[in-house]
Amino acid sequence: MKDSCKYSAIILSAGLSSRMNGFKPLLKFGGVTAVEMIIRTFISAGIEDILVIVGHRAEEIVNVLKKESVRCILNEKYKEGMSSSVLKALSEIDKDSKGFFLIPVDIPLIKIKTLELLKEEFLKGEKGIIYPQFKGKKGHPPLISTKYKNNIIKNISSGGLREVLSLYEKDSSTIEVIDNGILLDMDTLEDYNNLLNYFTFYDTPNEEECSAILRKYSVPEKIVSHGEAVAATAVNIAQTLNRKGKNLNINKIRAAALLHDIVRQEKNHAEAAGKIMRSLGYREIGDIIEVHMDISVNEKEEITEKEIVYLADKLNMDSESSSLKERFNKAFKKYCRDTEIIKRIEQRLKNAEKIAEKINCIEEIISYE
């Protein structure tokens, strides 16, 4: 469905940050401020009309954003609270916008895919207010039809935005997203530190997001258990190698191992799963998963995350660990009458043995004789 709607995005960035030992809009994530993080996410999702509502320390924010394609709107009444910033924003949004996203600056790590899904749901035209939801909990940002603009302006001062929107509950819906970031704010320094940790692995689904993906694709418990076993083996191997001087990404390895069989029953399931992960915004995880069945091994290059997950998968039958010999003997017996499949199995065994030889420093973990 082609999206011809124009949207606005309102970033509320005028507050005092009174509970934070620091100024929220300018707190850094990898060298980029919180307000810039949100702006760039909206731009990447194709949102053109972006309003940043400023108040406290306005000049500092404006100076940081002078090269960004946004409009900084001064709310001189910012000390009156968030509702005053919402009122100011609604008086300034583009008249051609059909809907607007609304987000406080202290929720900076939402994902592009979340915004895209909200737009897709909004475009169906069934509901006027769409909320993202993760693990059953509503988060930010809602996408609100501009048909409610005047009603919000009229009623917000009496009860706040949440109360106003609750009046239109029948015209609202939620959409489940794979994005823990919609729930993660930073009211306190502890919150900020938790967000920094989440940001470190921003391009990798965390444990909760992996669980949400497994639920989304209705992965059977048997396959979930196999993924957990593969993950345990892969992480064990990777951690041992890292102690010996390698620099393998443990989080990427674990996530890819947990999710490698999410569509196990589909034809070419490795490629299909890889495509799914990339569609969710996890490109590197998709690349690892895509080759967990068939992989090209360069024996002269350093061991990779792809190879670790590939080998770990071959060292586990269902949820039980096994040797390569045990695993492949079972496959050879099962397909002994099909010469084409046997050829593929033989190549997979050779690849697994090549990887095992690359990590011959950890014989105590793997057995492939």
Reported as a single tens digit per residue, the pLDDT across 334-347 is 778 778 888 888 89
Average pLDDT over all residues of the chain:
92
pLDDT > 60? residue 362: no
pLDDT digit string, tens, across residues 44-56: 999 999 999 999 9
Question: CB-based contacts of 11: which residues, under 8 Å, 6+ apart?
Answer: 35, 38, 39, 42, 50, 51, 52, 53, 103, 104, 105
Name the pTM for this structure.
0.89
pLDDT tens digits for 109-165?
999 999 999 999 999 999 999 999 999 999 999 999 999 999 999 999 877 899 999
Is the pLDDT score of 252 beyond 50? Answer: yes
The rounded distance, in Å, linking the Cα atoms of 102 and 94 is: 14
Domains and CATH numbers, the chain: 7-200 (3.90.550.10), 207-362 (1.10.3210.10)
Q: What is the 3-state secondary structure (H, E, C) of 227-285?
A: HHHHHHHHHHHHHHHHHCCCCCCHHHHHHHHHHCCCCCCCCCHHHHHHHHHHHCCCHHH
Give the pLDDT confidence of 299-325 residue by residue, as tens digits: 889 999 999 999 999 999 888 888 888
pLDDT at residue number 3:
66
